[in-house]
Amino acid sequence: MSVNTMNFEQAATVLNAIHSQVTGSAQIAPVNTKEFISVAQKTLATGYDPVLNAISQVIGKTIFSIRPYESKFGGLEMDSLMWGAVTRKLTAADKPLSDNDAYSLTEGQSVDMYKVNKPNVLETKYMGFLTFSKDVTIFKNQLNNAFQGPAQFGSFMTMVGQNALDMIAQTKESCARMCMANFIAGKADAQNGVIHLLTEYNTDMAFQTPLTAQTVKEPANFKPFIEWVYSRISTLTKLMTERSGLFQIPVAGYDINRHTPLRDQKVYLFTDLLNDIDARVLANAYNYEFLKFSDVQSVSYWQNINTRNQVQATPSYIDSATGAIKTAANAVTVSQIMGVIFDRDAMGYTVADEEVAMTPYNTKGKYWNQTYSYVLRYYNDFTEKGIILLLD
């Protein structure tokens, strides 16, 4: 007997046996679960629609699987770009101060108040786009025999349209993950703004036997370490609010000092670390401003869901000597990534020319095509502040 057919099966015997185990009147024993669990499957012992050959013709009830997907890393989306192929960014560099001549006047000499002191401006540019489209074919009546009425057909088309939107949302997310991966790998290759948490902790605590990535997770070691990490992150977010050249790649000839207020900081923490912080130091959490004012997000994985705390990329980043793009000589692997703290302008993406359009009706084939099209630009600005937190 199996419920995974179109037959009506008598279930009293198997249900009585299950109930006996659940209530404790019988000892636990293996249960042939296929006798009462209906498993979702592709095949069905009836005919299919003549167009897609995927939807059965005889249906008692239809469940439409519709669950809108909210793209992760959505905080990286910026204002849309509408004009021009190049976006430029202007930054005024600091220049030395001058003496106040009013307090060093010399008899018989004048003060030149027209000395030229031109601004020293750094111009950086973003160039290039990603573009893609997604097509959905809408049939007029070829699928009528697969549904019980217009309402079901409307629900079906809503499901198909939502699937297209979900794919588009995940495409944006996947590219955003690679945007983050390039930033992480670029900072690591440039050796700029990379914080080695375990190394600093061992130095700070002056252990005779330094902790490793394995021994730090032992019960006696882990709670103090997580509390120290929490405090260290709070310190780093405060340092980013100071106007300085810390945590940003400099460009020769330009004295660029930036600051990032807490409201403009994005703190993306590895889910495992954030869970440990919540579980172990939650009682003190709201004493720290970065949790109250920064954009704190949990990241389940950085690049690959099977290798969650690692990125592998051959990154491009700004060359501090020339200001041009520099590409790493080899692929860069960064492991044990616990978090990324960055200025809102350090990375992100913009959406341009976003459109959903419908073709004219095809009278011969009796269908329309609906096209979703996008132009995207993902960017990194390494002259902005960014910190990479590693558990090593």
- Cα 6 from chain centre: 44
Write out pLDDT tens, residues 217-247: 888 888 889 889 988 998 999 999 999 999 9
Helix pair angle (197-205, 219-240), 10° resolution: 110
Q: For strands 265-270 and 295-299, give the pairing.
A: parallel
Residues 334, 388: contact at Cβ < 8 Å?
yes
Predicted local confidence at residue 82, as pLDDT: 59
Distance in angstroms (rounded) separating the CA atoms of residues 274 and 100: 52
pTM: 0.80
Write out pLDDT tens, residues 307-365: 899 999 888 888 899 888 888 999 999 999 999 999 998 988 888 778 888 999 999 98
Q: Residues 373, 377, 381, CA angle at the centre, nearest 5°?
A: 170
Determine the length of the chain.
392
- Biggest CA–CA distance in the chain, Å, is 117
At 287, list the tokens. Answer: 């004493």
Domain ranges of the chain: 1-41, 86-124, 129-390
- Residues forming a β-bridge with 320: none
Other CB atoms within a 10 A radius of the CB of residue 122 amount to: 16
User: If you write DSSP's letter for every residue of 27-49 in order, what string do you get?
Assistant: ------GGGT-----S--SS-B-
Residues 127, 86: contact at Cβ < 8 Å?
yes
Tens place of pLDDT for every residue, the chain, 392 residues? 455 555 545 555 665 665 565 555 666 566 555 554 444 443 445 565 666 665 555 555 555 556 676 777 777 777 766 566 667 888 899 988 888 888 999 999 999 999 898 898 888 887 777 777 888 888 888 777 677 788 887 888 888 888 888 888 887 788 788 888 889 999 999 999 999 999 999 999 888 788 998 898 888 888 889 889 988 998 999 999 999 999 999 999 999 999 999 989 999 999 988 888 777 665 554 455 566 667 888 999 898 888 899 999 888 888 899 888 888 999 999 999 999 999 998 988 888 778 888 999 999 988 888 888 887 778 888 999 999 999 99
Predicted local confidence at residue 28, as pLDDT: 56
* Residues above pLDDT 90, as percent of the chain: 26
Residues 350, 78: contact at Cβ < 8 Å?
yes
